[in-house]
Amino acid sequence: MLKFEIQEPETLRLKMKAYTVVQTPPVPIASTDQLGKIMVGENLKIDANGVLSVDTATAVEQDNTKPVTSGAVHTEIGNIEALLAAL
């Protein structure tokens, strides 16, 4: 930042503010005993608050590669039990 200050008509004083550039060290890769950075892989997601969670399917489908919720498993097993009971 530059600031000019005129004290007398024939004198011009220049004031400069110095800035320091700070370099931060690189963030280490996270491990079981050290905090650090991670990369989010398949079937994981991070919300706007930075919360990591599993990206799940809510229904069992033939070509779905996502993990299935326990509710979807219960629904599927319930349907199988109903079919077996009818036999």
Residue 3 confidence (pLDDT): 62
* Total of domains in the chain: 1
Domain that holds residue 23: 2-86
pLDDT per residue as tens, the chain (87 positions): 556 666 666 666 666 677 777 888 899 998 889 999 988 888 898 888 888 899 888 888 888 888 888 788 778 777 777 777 877
Please give the pLDDT value at position 69.
84
pLDDT at 11: 62
What pLDDT, on a 0 to 100 scale, did the predictor assign at position 14? 62
Q: What is the pLDDT of residue 29?
A: 92
DSSP the chain: -EEEEEEETTEEEEEE------PPPPPPBPBTTB--B----TTEEE-TT--EEE--BSS--TT--S-B-HHHHHHHHHHHHHHHHH-
